[in-house]
A and B are shown apart, each in its own frame.
Chain A
Amino acid sequence: MSEHRTPRNEHGIAGPQDQPLGAGSTLSEADELPSDVIDVEARTQWQMFRRKFLRHKLAMGSLVFLVVVVISAFNAETIAPYAYDEVNVIEASSPPKLEGLHLFGTDQLGRDYFSRVLFGTRTSLRVAGVVAVLSTLIGTVLGAVAGFYRGWIDAILMRFTDLVIIIPALAVLIVAASFFGQGQPLRIAVILALLLWTSLARIVRGVFLSLREKEYVQAARASGASDLRIMFRHMLPNTIGPIVVNMTLVLAAAIIIEATLSFLGIGVNPPTPALGVLINDGRSSMQTLWWLTIMPGLALVAIALAINFVGDGLRDALDPTQQEH
């Protein structure tokens, strides 16, 4: 039954795709065909991917935006006009204005919110980055092992998936974050990663299940390659498409969840600036200083949106069924 439950969505955004996106046959075909026989320039898979992605304007724009945000956030000390805790009573409670570079306004203590948002973005990006890398590692390894060996690892993974369906992940996260998070960004990141790897594991498992029957895998085995070599040298490169796309999804989800937890007061602790913390700070004064909620909020949405657009562009570019027009 379960295979009927998730409908295929050709343009869906969130639905994880079970098909290998960059499945590997194109590479060898392109290599074998001499370019003068057919009047088409032979392109490697990477070239095709790059061409398609570069043409996706929204994704490219988002990528540029993200690069700018990441560079500025990680150089916040030099780029931010003020320190994030710099108090200036004269400039207190100012709405956003160009004068004095208070682009996002200031709070009751005169702290510059553009600078605070920049430092907060750095914390949020760090957490999300750790989550994305860690959960991708866990999900890839477990999914690969489950798909390759089947057996009890596979059974446990699938039962675990059942568990995740029945308990709302947010509830588990709140329990874990409030008891084991202690407000430290790294701990929060690890907790998030430990809960966000499951969808990728299922995707990688699905791809490995189909790939392990392929001829080239049998060929590798016949020539005496070890299991590890077959899995990570031969099969993994053909799974890279879905893994990368899923990584963008996890990245966006991690930023949103971390902000939600911090907003609820169980994520990153207040002295450390994080976007959720800033949004929560601004909440108490929304009658007068509305920008304290809106500005960090808009920054959060802009980053999550850009990541999702990049993910969408990657998905389109890696999808072999989508033709270039």
Chain B
Amino acid sequence: MLTYALRRLLISIPIILLATFLIFMAVSVSGDPLADLRQLPNITQEQIDNVREARGLNDPLPVQYLRWLEQIPQGGFGEYLISPRPIWPDLRRVLGNTLQLVIAAEVLAFILAVALGALSAKRQYSVFDYTTTTLSFFGYSMPSFLFALFLQVIVVQIFVRTGVRIFPIGNLSSANPGTGIAFVLDRMWHLALPIASLAIFSVASYSRYMRASMLEVIHSDYVRTARAKGLPERTITIRHSMRNALIPTVTVAALSFGTLLAGAIVIETVFGLDGMGRYFFQQIGRRDPYPIIGWLTIVGVIIVVFNLIADILYGYLDPRIRYE
């Protein structure tokens, strides 16, 4: 098991490197990273040349990339091109905020999807089943940014008409968030709409998987046996059926973590949250390749780790699976 995990991690390293290299090249060839600098009123060509020389922009691109790679083991993702500030503190800050959002959305989506999927499988072809099926189509057809905007419009319109502010439509915290429990509650209040917007697609997709695997399980022999020996229906559903039906759903949820991270790019932009997504989007606008490939490395590692977690969970939940 351990060797399997290690091997998977090792295989993924060259893939992440290739990805960062490709993106580095794409960002570098596509524009002048010093464009912002040239905008400054008192700047001379000589100063720009000095910056180019100092930041190594005159070297061939692969050399620049290798220089970035060299400093990774020393801990850190280098500095911004224009202002010599380290990138890592910024990345760490936004990573923390985004993980709160994404993990909350993942947990919420998973719980909801398991409940909805299991229930619609238990009541196959009922009104409830058809309703959730139709709603899941909505979930697939509604871009998350649009759902976020609709929520914002509703909240804003309620505020305009009644003066009641149900949820904030931006920012991570109030001006005076307080400390301890008050801070956590304030954060949850601020993140409610972003979490809901981010979770909607996942609820739609996970619940389909849950319904399908639950349907498979409740028609299996051992469930009939459980019923025949007179177990209460509750026990059959929760202990016997749902446990097994959860296996593929857990895997899908873990594998979809990357999709949620990508979805955060849009959601954080809509709600103006200081997270990974908005950071990525801001840096794209500045044509500085270093924060972008740093971002990509972190996201790549997170996705690889979650894929690995998915595999390990799968093996743990289903003892028939063996990894060598």
Residues of A at the B interface (CB closer than 8 Å) are: 1, 4-5, 7-15, 162-163, 165-172, 174-176, 178-180, 252, 256, 259-260, 263-264, 266, 279, 283, 286-288, 290, 293-294, 297, 300-301, 304-305, 307-309, 312
Known: A9-B208, A175-B23. A294 touches B303 (CB 8 A): no
Tell yes or no: B18 within 8 A of A by CB. Answer: yes
Q: Is the CB of B150 within 8 A of A14?
A: no
Partner pick for A264 among B160, B263, B281, B304, CB 8 A cutoff = B281
Stretch from B26-34, B44-52, B58-66, B103-111 forming part of the interface with A: B26-34
What would be 11 A-B contacts, judged by CB atoms less than 8 Å apart? A1-B311, A166-B258, A166-B304, A170-B263, A170-B266, A171-B299, A174-B265, A174-B281, A297-B146, A300-B143, A308-B137
Q: Is the CB of A286 within 8 A of B205?
A: no
Chain A residues in 8 Å Cβ range of B205: 13-14
A286–B103 alpha-carbon span in the complex (Å) = 29
Q: Are A179 and B142 interface neighbours, CB within 8 A?
A: no
State A304–B138 Cα separation when bound (angstroms): 9
User: Which of chain B's residues have a CB closer than 8 A to the CB of A162?
Assistant: 15
Specify the chain B residue showing the minimal Cβ separation from A180.
Answer: B30
Chain B residue numbers with a CB within 8 Å of A264 are 145, 266, 269, 281
A301 and B263 contact, CB distance less than 8 A: no
Write the chain A residue with the least CB distance to B310. Answer: A5
A252–B142 alpha-carbon span in the complex (Å): 10
Given the complex, which residues of A lie within 8 Å of B77, measured CB to CB?
none
Of A166, A175, A178, A288, the most chain B CB neighbours within 10 A belong to A166
State the Cβ distance, A65 to closest chain B Cβ, in Å. Answer: 13
Contact: B284 with A178, CB < 8 Å? Answer: yes
Residues of B208-225 at the interface with A, using a CB-CB cut-off of 8 Å, are 208-209, 211-213, 215-216
Please report the C-alpha to C-alpha distance between residue A252 and residue B258 in the assembled complex, in whole angstroms.
Answer: 21
What is the interface of chain B mostly: helix, strand, loop, or mixed? helix
Q: Report the bound CA distance from A14 to B212 in whole Å.
A: 13
Given contacts A7-B212, A165-B303, contact A260 B292 (CB under 8 A): no
Question: B31 to A260, Cβ gap below 8 A?
Answer: no
Q: Which of B93-101, B151-159, B180-188, B189-197 contacts A (4 or more CB under 8 A)?
A: B151-159
In the complex where A11-B211, A305-B137 touch, is A165 in contact with B23 (Cβ < 8 A)? no
* Closest beta carbon of chain B to A68's beta carbon, Å: 18
Interchain CB contact (< 8 A) of B208 among A1, A12, A166: A12
Residues of A within 8 A of B160 (CB): 287-288
Q: How far is the CB of A175 from chain B (nearest CB, A)?
A: 6
- B307: chain A residues at CB < 8 Å are 165
Residue in A5, A172, A287, A301 whose CB lies within 8 Å of B255: A5
Cβ-neighbour of B26 out of A11, A163, A179 (below 8 A):
A179
| B-chain residues with CB within 8 Å of residue A7 when the two chains form the complex | 209, 212-213, 248, 251-252
Q: Are B299 and A168 in contact (CB under 8 A)?
A: yes
Q: Please name the residue on chain A nearest to B269 by beta carbon.
A: A264
B280 contacts which chain A residues (CB < 8 A)? 171, 174
Top 3 closest A-B pairs, CB basis? A7-B248, A168-B262, A179-B30
